[in-house]
Structure 1
């Protein structure tokens, strides 16, 4: 299965890059082809259309959390057909509000017509290895 893992994380943060690497490695071991896309870069030519599964990974924003980056909704609306595609919502925790941020991400995805079949709060790189087995 062709999977796209779009993240909105800081790639220079070693913990974030390890989480991404563990997610990709776990999904690849199940036989999936995983492509990693940084959602904060110029995405004018990127399209979700050729992928069968979409995984979104975002940080929790705000002191009390509960928010996801506003660019997420913009990317979903402008990067091709996402309606009816299977997907998962993954959130990195902050001090408070990770559950609320996960719900906000799922709401943004479902608003565009995506079918969210898995969601989780990725606590650590080790947890990311476990979560990666559910992609696809």
Structure 2
């Protein structure tokens, strides 16, 4: 997940945009209120999909005002039924009022960088 996140950040930075990488497990007191666009990534926690780490919704609920923020949900491909896991992540984001513009599942970091170069952040 770390390498995919870094690759996505490189792609976004190629558009001339500043990017901060935040690890939701380590940076638990980080507030996302100041950000205009939020890309949130996860890895499924089960082989058959449909579950994300429970710390993700907890992090979002404690991260300040995220309602109405434009966002991008992504997964690092793992196991089966990744689209089900992605829907769970998206539901957690929408529960906090985030406005999802795009979602994707990445198999390799190069895919993430390519998408980062094409994201419409404005």
- Using the TM superposition, give the Cα deviation of residue 135 of structure 1 relative to its aligned residue in structure 2, in angstroms: 6.0
| Distance verdict in 2 for CA 1:135–1:105, change over 3 Å | farther
Please give the alpha-carbon distance, in whole angstroms, between the structure 1 residues aligned to 2:120 and 2:107.
16
**Secondary structure of residue in 2 paired with 1:118:** strand
Corresponding residue for residue 7 of structure 2 = 22
* Structure with the higher fraction of residues in strand conformation: 1
Q: Distance in 2 between matches of 1:54 and 1:116?
A: 9
- Tell me the distance in 2 between the aligned counterparts of 1:92 and 1:19: 7
Normalising to structure 1: TM-score of the pair?
0.83
State the structure with bigger RCO (CA 8 A, min sep 6), 1 or 2: 2
Q: Distance in 2 between matches of 1:62 and 1:135?
A: 32
Distance 1:72 1:135, change over 3 A: farther
**Aligned 8 A contact 1:55 1:88 in 2:** yes
C-alpha separation in 1, matches of 2:38 and 2:71: 5
Matches within 5 A, 1:50-89: 50-89=34-73
Distance 1:131 1:67 in 2: 24
Gaps of 5+ in 1: 1-15
Deviation sequence 1:33-74 (CA, Å, 0-9, x none):
100011111422x11111001110100111211211111110
Q: Which runs of 4+ in 1 moved over 3 A?
A: none
Once superposed, what is the RMSD of the aligned Cα atoms? 1.2
Q: CA 1:135/1:89 → structure 2, altered by over 3 Å: closer, same or farther?
A: farther
TM-score by length of 2: 0.92
Unmatched 5+ stretches in structure 2 = none
- Following the alignment from structure 1 to structure 2, what is the Cα–Cα distance between the partners of residues 104 and 135? 23
